[in-house]
Amino acid sequence: MTSLTTFYLSRIIDTKALDSNGKVIGIVKDLLVDSDSSNYTSGHPSVNGIKIKFNKRMDFFAFRDFHIEKVGGKMRVICDKLTALPAEHIDGDLYLVDSVLDKQIVDLNGRKLVRVNDVRLVSIANGTYAVAVDIGIEGLLRRIGIVRPIKFMSSLFGANVSSKFILWEDVEAIDFSNLNIKLSKSYSRLQTLHPSDLADIIEDLGRKASAEVFSSLDEEKAADVLEELEIDAQVRILESLSIEKAADVLDKMPADEVADIFDALEDDKVELLLKEMGEDTSQEVRELLYYPDNSVGSIMSTEVLSFNEDATIDEVLADLKAKKPEAEALYNLFVTGENDVLIATFSLRDLVIHAPETSIRQIMRPATVHLRDYQKINEVAELVSKYNLLAIPVVDRDNVLQGMVVIDDVIDDLMGKGRTNK
């Protein structure tokens, strides 16, 4: 046996597998590789099994007793001994032809979906590994069987047929026809992507795959991704989840985002989800849902931090450390009096530049700029740009602090307007 053989999946699929005497044992139909990336040797999954068709019957054999030989430019699959493949591999492995070849996979570096034209494998002394996927034109032409004439033709014109590979450690297969695969393990590398990128990928995926990818994410990540999705996709994904799972994810999202999604869902579904969600969040969402669509109340964030004017900077900082609020909540800090009536505001900067024992009363500024919860949304952008604010407090008729509108929410609104005016 040669010490190193590289070959393409397309070159051995639908060829005859031979035994050591040269007798045909069947047609090669698929290769099975390890689906759990934590088992990979230097990022490459090993080929565990081979699917062979003989007389209309499909058999699975262990690949370690097979080897690939290059004879006169052709690949030959030769079997030394037939050992049945253990059921755990048949059930749990990734099928290269079924789930990778011609399918869309995630390019983790390019953060997008690509279509696989071929898979490059390598055989070394201790096993056979999938090393890269071919997504270039060359792979396409190879599959059609016209790569050599085209390459010859283009070389006459001094042009090159572009070949493009992505190493296996930089891809993640997503569309499994094999339902027994443990998805959370198979998709583990997707967790490293930024929520926005993951959201883009999920939007581009088919219905089944997008639901599977989403449910493999942990709740925190799932909530971040859900927030980034377009409204259509949000609804689609939520419908694909069980009520319990959906409620768990929504619990991790800001109440105003949840309310936005609920506006697009059916009322019965919303009621079910609200019952299942944590009491605090569902109460907040319920309140937001009562606001009309184009009112400030419907877009405001209810996660606000308010303090007593007698507190010292030290106490406020200790409180923040304990609460660990989201970055957004720190855009603006508030001082409230009796019954949560808004008195004044102060900023993170104020906290940082003054001595720890200073009281909030000394650094706070009166909250002259604020919004009412039933005010129209289109008046917000003007205020934000006029006063250069990151967040504006929202109060009700009795000046009770209800939440705040963050610049991010208004930017969406402004950009939406720009688009329709074009």
Partner 1 sequence: MFRTKKTFYQRLVLFLAILGPGIITGSVDNDAGGITTYSVAGALYGYNLLWTLIPSFVVLVAIQEMNARMGIVTGKGLADLIRENAGVKITFFIFIGLLIADIGNTTTEFAGVAGSMEVFGVNKYISVPIVGFMVWFLVVKGTYKFAERIFLLFSVSLLMYVVSALMGKPNWGEIGHAVIHPQMEINAKSLAMVIGIVGTTIAPWMQFYMQSSVIEKGLEMKNYRYSLIDIVVGCVATVVVAFFIIVACASTLHVNGIQINEAKDAALALKPLAGAFASQVFAFGLFIASIFSATILPLATAFYVCEAFGFEAGIDKKWDEAKEFYVLYTGILVLSAAIILIPNAPLIGISLWSQVLNGILLPMVLVCMMLLVNNKKIMGKYVNNPLTNLVGWIAVVVLIALSVLLVFQPLFG
Which spans of this chain sit near partner 1 (rule: CB under 8 A)?
Answer: 102-104, 112, 114-117, 135, 140, 143-145, 175, 177, 205-208, 210, 232-233, 235-236, 239, 267-268, 270-271, 289-290, 422
Minimum CB distance to partner 1 smaller for 143 or for 221: 143
For partner 1, the closer of residues 44 and 103 by Cβ is 103
Four-point Cα dihedral 108, 109, 112, 115, nearest 10: -80
DSSP 98: I
Q: What is the nearest approach in angstroms of partner 1 to the Cβ of residue 232?
A: 3
Residue 153 or 353: which CB sits closer to partner 1?
153
Q: Which of residues 143 and 252 has its CB atom nearest to partner 1 in the complex? A: 143
Closest contact distance (angstroms) between CB of 297 and partner 1 is 14
Q: How far is the CB of 42 from partner 1 (least distance, A)?
A: 27
CA pair distance 386, 51, nearest whole angstrom = 68
Strand order across the beta sheet in which 104-107 lies: 112-115, 104-107, 171-173
Distance (Å, rounded) from C-alpha 251 to C-alpha 277? 6
Strands (DSSP E) contained in 20-90 are 24-33, 47-54, 57-62, 66-71, 74-79
* Residue 29 C-beta: closest distance to partner 1, Å: 13
> Do 343 and 310 touch, CB atoms closer than 8 A?
no
Please report how close the Cβ of residue 281 comes to partner 1 at its closest, in angstroms.
18
Count CB atoms within 10 A of the CB of residue 352. 9
Distance (Å, whole) CA 6 – CA 414? 54
C-alpha distances in Å from residue 413, one per residue of 44, 134, 302, 332, 420: 45, 42, 18, 20, 11
8 Å CB contact between 237 and 227? no
Cβ proximity to partner 1: between 69 and 107 the closer is 107
What whole-number distance in Å separates Cα of residue 70 and Cα of residue 73? 6
Nearer to partner 1, 110 or 278 (CB): 110
Residues 6+ apart with CB under 8 A from 337: 309, 343
Taking the complex as a whole, the smallest distance from the CB of residue 231 to partner 1 amounts, in Å, to 8
Least distance CB 311 / partner 1 (angstroms): 39
Q: How far is the CB of 28 from partner 1 (least distance, A)?
A: 15
Q: Scan for tokens 């033709």, then name that residue.
A: 153
Cβ proximity to partner 1, 70 vs 207, nearer residue = 207
Q: Which DSSP string do the residues of 390-410 spell out, in sequence order?
A: SEEEEE-TT-BEEEEEEHHHH
Nearest approach in angstroms of CB 318 to partner 1 is 41
Token pair, residue 46, equals 């090993």
Q: How far is the CB of 271 from partner 1 (least distance, A)?
A: 6
37 vs 178 by CB, closer to partner 1:
178
| For partner 1, the closer CB: 265 or 330 | 265
Q: Nearer to partner 1 by C-beta: 103 or 221?
A: 103
DSSP annotation of 187 reads T
Q: Is 391 exposed, middle or buried (0-12, 13-18, 19+ CB in 10 A)?
A: buried
